[in-house]
Each structure stands twice: as structure tokens, then as C-alpha cells.
């Protein structure tokens, strides 16, 4: 009796080992993996490439960052288990540019609703207190006119914008309504954001506040960084993109910034 039971068990085990997955089952497995991956990359994490120098030294052109889309998202009743917190001063955020809903930007939160903000010679004063920002680029006297003092940019909002300041028309019209005693006051439901590379950043000084609903998330770390020229952002044709992809394949080892791999963004 024992031998019979053992033989039957062996036959069942052999049959299970010989059983192969059908094409339909394989397709179902692949679709499940893709669905989970799509959900994660759409609602939980998302990858972004830094195309400009507006956040240097914090983020470099060619940094590829993983963005947390959960912690700064509005709380959802269907997912009460998700950790949520509101925007804090100093948070680096990814958001849709006001007025251009298809364009993602990354900047640092300078002020939240109710805050009073002004700049004097490039230094940020928050609620009357000068901020210590070692990461922020300041106007300097050198051979680059872009780094020289600019009255509108570096004493914001003391000087009204001119047609040459790259200020959007809507913000030039709206700006005076938010100034109290030479300070910019952040209204409810919005934040004021600026780039760390202050002399090379077209930020809230030029297009206004960021609505809370425009904020997508916050970058957590750099997962890959490749040396990318500043002018690459302007090369959008198919030929130019393919050429740069070829360049990456050839130089992926010698032009990857290996030291920035898993660099925390803060």
C-alpha cells in the first residue's frame, strides 16, 4: 500500500513538472506585470530628466531623477493608507508650468500661502528674515553678463517688469495685486518657487505662483546622470535626437557621472 501511494505521488509530481504554460497564460502573466508596472510608474513613481541649468548645483543637466508622486499628492478617500503631507518651504517640486500644462518644471519651494517674500541683491528675505541658502547662485561681477546684477530679477519685486525681462504678460498684470509693503504675498492654494541657480532660472519671478493642483511630486534621488550639453534642450528634431542617442550608446561608460548615481535630492 505504501509503495502504491508513493508511486501515485511521484506520478502527480512528474505530471505537474511536465505541464507547460499555455500561450494564453503567458500573455496573462505579461499583461499583469505590465499593468503593475504602469500603475507604479503612473501613480507612485515617475522618472524625469533635468534639461536645463536652473537647479545647478542641486541638479545637473542630464540628471535622471525618480519622482515620488504620492507624498505630496492630495489625500484620496480610496487610499487612506497613503502617506501624505503638504508642501513645505525648501521642498524641491516637480510641477506643470502655469499656463503651459504640457511642460514639466522642477524648482525649489520658497514660500507657502501667507508668506511675505522679497529679494535684495539676490538674497531671499522670507517674512523679513534673510535666508541662508548655500545652494543658491548669486549675482556676481564677472565676464558673463547673465551673472551680473539685474534689478528686476535680483531685487524682486521692487522693480516693475519691463518688456525685456522675459516676464509673461499675465504675470506682469497680476504681480502688483500681490505686493504689500514691497513684499510679494503668497495667496491661498499656491506656492512660490524659484530655481537654485538664481541668475539662470526663469522661475516664479517671471511667470508667477504655482497652483497646488499643478504639483506632481518631489524628486527623491538621481538614478542615472549623463554629461549633456546645455544646448541639447533646443535640439528637438528626430535626426538630432537620434544622433544624441547614438552618442549616449558610444559614451555611456566614460560620460556617465557615476558619482551621482543614487545621489539624494535635497
pLDDT in tens, 54-93: 999 999 999 999 999 888 876 655 555 566 788 999 999 9
Give the pLDDT confidence score for residue 74 in this predicted structure. Answer: 66
Mean residue pLDDT of the chain comes to 85
* Per-residue confidence (pLDDT) for residue 263, from 0 to 100: 95
Determine which one of 54, 190, 201, 225 is catalytic. 54
- pLDDT of 78 reads 53
Give the per-residue pLDDT at 39. 45
Sequence ranges of the chain with CATH classification 2.10.109.10: 50-264
The architecture in CATH of the region 50-264 reads: Ribbon (2.10)
Q: What pLDDT is recorded for position 123?
A: 96
pLDDT of residue 71: 84
CB distance 200 to 34 below 8 Å: no
- Three-state SS string over the chain comes to CHHHHHHHHHHHHHHHHHCCCCHHHHHHHHHHHHHHHHHHHHHHEEEEECCCCCCCCCCCCCEEEEEECCCCCCCCCCCCCCCCCCCCCCCEEEEEECCEEEEEEEEEEEECCCCEEEEECCEEEECCEECCCCCCCCCCCCCCHHHCCCHHHHCCCCCCCCCCCCCCHHHHHHHHHHEECCEEECCCCEEEEECCCHHHCCCHHHHCCEEHHHEEEEEEEEEEEECCCHHHHHCCCHHHHHHHHHHHHHHCCCCECHHHCCEECC
Active site annotation includes 243:
no
- From the candidates 107, 190, 201, 225, give the one annotated as an active-site residue: 107
The pLDDT tens digits along the chain (266 residues) read 445 544 554 554 554 555 566 766 555 555 555 444 444 444 566 889 999 999 999 999 999 999 998 888 766 555 555 667 889 999 999 999 998 888 999 999 999 999 999 999 999 999 999 999 999 999 987 777 778 899 999 999 999 998 888 999 999 999 999 999 999 999 999 999 999 999 999 999 999 999 999 999 999 999 999 999 999 988 889 999 999 999 999 999 999 999 999 999 99
pLDDT of residue 162: 87
Whole-number pLDDT of residue 56:
94
Active site residue 235: no
User: Which pLDDT score, from 0 to 100, does residue 110 have?
Assistant: 98
pLDDT at residue 15 in the model: 47
Amino acid at each position: 500500500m505504501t509503495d502504491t501511494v508513493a508511486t501515485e505521488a511521484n506520478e502527480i509530481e512528474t505530471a505537474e513538472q511536465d505541464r507547460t504554460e499555455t500561450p494564453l497564460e503567458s500573455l496573462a502573466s505579461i499583461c499583469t506585470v505590465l499593468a503593475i508596472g504602469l500603475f507604479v510608474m503612473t501613480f507612485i513613481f515617475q522618472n524625469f530628466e533635468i534639461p536645463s541649468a536652473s537647479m545647478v548645483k542641486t541638479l545637473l543637466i542630464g540628471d535622471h531623477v525618480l519622482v515620488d508622486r504620492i507624498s505630496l499628492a492630495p489625500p484620496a478617500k480610496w487610499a487612506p493608507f497613503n502617506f501624505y503631507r503638504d508642501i513645505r518651504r525648501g521642498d524641491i517640486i516637480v510641477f506643470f508650468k502655469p499656463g503651459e500644462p504640457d511642460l514639466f518644471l522642477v524648482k525649489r519651494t520658497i514660500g507657502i500661502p501667507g508668506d511675505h517674500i522679497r529679494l535684495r541683491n539676490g538674497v531671499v528675505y522670507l517674512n523679513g528674515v534673510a535666508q541662508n541658502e548655500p545652494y543658491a547662485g548669486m549675482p556676481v561681477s564677472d565676464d558673463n553678463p547673465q551673472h551680473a546684477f539685474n534689478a528686476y530679477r535680483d531685487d524682486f519685486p521692487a522693480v516693475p517688469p519691463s518688456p525685456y525681462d522675459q516676464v509673461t504678460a499675465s504675470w506682469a498684470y497680476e504681480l502688483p495685486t500681490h505686493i504689500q509693503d514691497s513684499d510679494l504675498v503668497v495667496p491661498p492654494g499656491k506656492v512660490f518657487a524659484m530655481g537654485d541657480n538664481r541668475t539662470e532660472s526663469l522661475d516664479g519671478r517671471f511667470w508667477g505662483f504655482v497652483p497646488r493642483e499643478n504639483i506632481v511630486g518631489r524628486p527623491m534621488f538621481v538614478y542615472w546622470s549623463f554629461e549633456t550639453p546645455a544646448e541639447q534642450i533646443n535640439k528637438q528634431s528626430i535626426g538630432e535626437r537620434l544622433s544624441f542617442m547614438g552618442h549616449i550608446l558610444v559614451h555611456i561608460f566614460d560620460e556617465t557621472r557615476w558619482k551621482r548615481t543614487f545621489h539624494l535630492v535635497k
